[in-house]
Chains A and B, each alone.
Chain A
């Protein structure tokens, strides 16, 4: 079963959960509400092979660190997407000035990331790996999302296809996924 087909089974469960959970969350009972959240389950074994050595391949990074660029991008909204809204994505250029990075993400302690963004946005390490020939190159853009995607339908139907298009346009061969 593809992920899109699994979505048809999951959506009624999610809508039923949301109806009960939203009032609880508004009352501050967030943990209790998520105790019955219907985690998305799927089958199928998607697997793509790298068709060249890593030392010749272009690698992109996707992180759920909640980063944006101060003064240039809208900050991440630190709320989950209960209502079917499309997950937020920000593009961080590979040569970003780290002093301009800001984090708006309620799901993790930012202390480590503020000390060294490479803990979950490891652009310095990837550039060094490209210089050593361990990878061919680093994609122009890192794609940043938020971690908690409650409604996975827009993620599957809109965000992932848009990411694929953007990665292809950047000539990407493989992707490293770093959660926060």
Chain B
């Protein structure tokens, strides 16, 4: 997924990647990454947890809007 992020950004499309496995995703150097302590299989938020799902997506949007440059990471949990 990090390689897709890099490829899209190289063609002018800003991206944000959510990761629950930062050692794996970070090794391929995504341009913007939100690190969350969530489960594999529920990387946006657990079933029915609307608030967490929304929070994940809103933080990804904010990263796209506000990241100062390559390698931006939101790891506030």
Contacts and interface: CB of A to CB of B under 8 A. Distances in A.
A and B from one complex: yes
Interface in B9-31: 9-21, 25, 27-31
Contacts of A149: 3
Given A109-B41, A119-B46, A176 B14 contact: no
A143 to B, nearest CB: 9
B9 A48 contact: yes
A54 B65 contact: yes
Given A110-B41, A119-B44, A177 B4 contact: yes
Nearest to B17: A177
Contact of B41 (A2, A3, A108, A145): A108
Contact of A116 (B29, B48, B54): B48
A45 to B, nearest CB: 4
A62 to B, nearest CB: 6
Interface string A144-169: 01010100100110011101100100
27 contacts: A39-B28, A42-B6, A44-B6, A45-B71, A46-B7, A46-B10, A46-B31, A46-B70, A47-B9, A47-B67, A108-B40, A110-B41, A129-B58, A135-B61, A149-B3, A152-B3, A160-B8, A164-B7, A173-B13, A174-B64, A175-B14, A176-B16, A177-B5, A179-B1, A179-B19, A179-B20, A179-B21
Interface of A: 2-3, 39-50, 53-54, 59, 62, 64, 108-113, 115-116, 118-120, 122, 125-126, 128-129, 134-135, 145, 147, 149, 152, 155-156, 159-161, 163-164, 167, 172-180
